[in-house]
Structure 1
Amino acid sequence: MENLHILQPLTTTTTAAAAAAYSRIILRLVLVLFIAIVSIWANYEESKGFAITVVNDAGDTPAGRRFSLLFLSNDKATRIVLKTSGFAEKILFPDDRHPKKPVDHVIVRLSSRNLTHPVVVSSVNKTEFVLHISPSVMEETNVEKAMILAVQRAMARVWLWDGQDGAPSSLLDGMVEYINILAGLAPVSDSGGLQLPESDTICWEDKDPVAVAHFLNYCEGLREGFIGRLNRGMQDQWNERTVDDALGLPSQQLCVSYYSTILQLPNSFNSTSPSLSRQVI
């Protein structure tokens, strides 16, 4: 019995030491978990490369409530921006030889009134852009698809260089349409159904963005990487040789060949970059 009394303090001490060791292990595990979470978050922030803000200016209207429920409360709008941005970046900046346009902040703003287009892009400064979403988008039957299409168009426009505001709007619209078609978000018209322009019209000056997209696809097929080179060329001051330099030959001369061949073939628009999978968000 005496031996039991002697051993009891030792048992208590051992239990206390074990509890302290266990606490230290738990503390270390928590610390490791915290560092891992911080690292994952840092990688996430670094991967997206720019801040995203989502604003609902429509307030307590049917469109505003639907936007808040479907895209704001669950951070869906942010994920759509990241996915569509990534798709556009792969096309416009295919490798390190194509320096990315600086983009620091993207604001997705549901407008309080209907706009002339589903989405309108404006710039606060050279690195901050606002995507004005028309409330009419929230009225679409497939509202998620309509939202993705609007944001994809906007993010394509955000990442496009514009020749220091000198690039033709027809070319910029055609490049946006090109990206949307590759993303599977815009219907592909039969090229044979496109209207032939006047004889003195340059292909990328066509007022129909789909027609310009077909021409850009044709050029990409002739010289892989054309779209990336063209976008890089538009980083500087725009001039009439920008398209020629990206092609490596006179674009107007190419138009003659293009109109005499491709427009006679249906469904000439094919994905020119097999690595670019159809976008699914």
Structure 2
Amino acid sequence: MDQLGTLLPLSSQTPTPALNPIKPPHPTLSNPKISTTVWTNSYPPTPLRLATLLALLLISVWANYEASKGFNLSILDAPTHTLAGRRFNLLFVSNGRAADMALKSSRFIEHILYPLEEAFPQKPVRHVTIRLSDNNIMNDVIVSRCNSRAAAAIGEYLIEISPSVMAQKDVITAAFASALHRGMGYVWLWDGHATMPQPILDAMVQYLSVQYKLAYKDYESTYLTSTLADLIQLCEEKSSGFIARLNNAVREKWDEHTLTDAFSSPSEMMCLSRIISVSEDGFLADNAGLDLSWELNQAM
């Protein structure tokens, strides 16, 4: 049975037993930026004293709420009877490297998908567990959501890394970083409660990986996924925030009417239409990027 490896905070470079959120806590009452004043028995008047205490209480509640945001991260030790397991534990668990990579990927992905909290409600993620899979996995990583209906289980995800990643020798770190980053992409992307077309979801994950500029790019990727990722990148270049709006539009369900309402400009509608068409009819993938680029230039 796998044992708990590390539970790490956001900025830690070495494993600690603490369970801390990704985002650093906001100022609390102990923060020197928030000053307090000691009053004498006569000053200030009682109403002002009560107002001061109430204000400090509200600040404390707000700070605790903000500090509670983020998610817990667990790294599980792999069984040591295999070479892959021993490499995983030595290179990524014992030194906190896996946790550091996961947190950096998470910050990068959140910045792209959720640029404004008010306009782009963030997907609830409360606990992510990372482990080495027992068997080899296509595309090196698989992400599963907890199926329990209990409220406590909402936002819990398991990222499993394929043992084949541990066999990459000279590029093992880059291969692991690539697989883990794609895993975090699946964690943070809305999927319309599993109604989103898988090719488009895969393409969005690939787009996030390309933007992260990972050195390792040798994982298996279908021609359709690569073409769709290129289309998404083209649409993002023409209209900044396109992928964030696309992600936000499928929070509840993949519905073309909802998607249409999420985009206002003709160029964005053209992008969305082409992405959907290519995802449904793979044979349209040939020259899809060139065709869309020409159409967008004509429309502008």
- How many residue pairs end up in the alignment? 207
Instruction: Please tell me whether the aligned partners of residues 178 and 216 of structure 2 are also in contact (alpha carbons under 8 angstroms).
Output: no
Residue 274 of structure 1: aligned partner = none
Residue 272 of structure 1: aligned partner = none
User: Does the alignment pair 1:157 with 2:186?
Assistant: yes
Please list the CA deviations of residues 54-84 of structure 1 after superposition, one character each: whole Å capped at 9, or x if unmatched.
1134432111111111111111111111001
Residue 233 of structure 2: aligned partner = 217
Do the aligned partners of residues 76 and 186 (structure 1) sit closer, same or farther apart at CA in structure 2, a change above 3 Å counting? closer
Mapped to 1, the partners of 2:156 and 2:86 lie a distance apart of 26
1:137 to 155, 160, 165: 165
Instruction: Please tell me whether the aligned partners of residues 71 and 127 of structure 2 are also in contact (alpha carbons under 8 angstroms).
Output: yes
Do the aligned partners of residues 153 and 68 (structure 1) sit closer, same or farther apart at CA in structure 2, a change above 3 Å counting? same
Residue 122 of structure 1: aligned partner = 144
Report percent identity of matched pairs: 37
Please list the CA deviations of residues 169-224 of structure 1 after superposition, one character each: whole Å capped at 9, or x if unmatched.
01101100110110112789xxxxxxxxxxxxxxxxx9611111111112222222
2:105 to 84, 87, 91: 84
Instruction: Please tell me whether the aligned partners of residues 120 and 133 of structure 1 are also in contact (alpha carbons under 8 angstroms).
Output: yes
SS at match of 2:256: coil
Mapped to 1, the partners of 2:139 and 2:92 lie a distance apart of 20
2:250 to 234, 239, 243: 234
Please list the CA deviations of residues 4-51 of structure 1 after superposition, one character each: whole Å capped at 9, or x if unmatched.
xxxxxxxxxxxxxxxxxxxxxxxxxxxxxxxxxxxxx78747498111
TM-score relative to the length of structure 2: 0.62
The aligned amino acid for 2:185 is: A
Do the aligned partners of residues 219 and 252 (structure 1) sit closer, same or farther apart at CA in structure 2, a change above 3 Å counting? closer
Mapped to 1, the partners of 2:186 and 2:294 lie a distance apart of 27
Mapped to 1, the partners of 2:223 and 2:256 lie a distance apart of 17
Q: For structure 2, which runs of at least 5 residues remain unmatched after alignment?
A: 1-19, 26-66, 148-153, 278-287, 296-300
Residue 31 of structure 1: aligned partner = none
Residue 22 of structure 1: aligned partner = none
The aligned amino acid for 1:260 is: D
Mapped to 2, the partners of 1:214 and 1:247 lie a distance apart of 19
1:184 to 213, 227, 234: 213
2:293 to 249, 259, 262: 262
SS at match of 1:113: coil
Moved more, 53-62 or 150-159: 53-62
Mapped to 2, the partners of 1:83 and 1:253 lie a distance apart of 30
SS at match of 1:112: coil
Mapped to 1, the partners of 2:294 and 2:178 lie a distance apart of 26
Mapped to 2, the partners of 1:175 and 1:72 lie a distance apart of 28
SS at match of 1:208: helix
Residue 55 of structure 2: aligned partner = none
Kindly indicate which of the two structures has a greater share of residues assigned to helix: 1
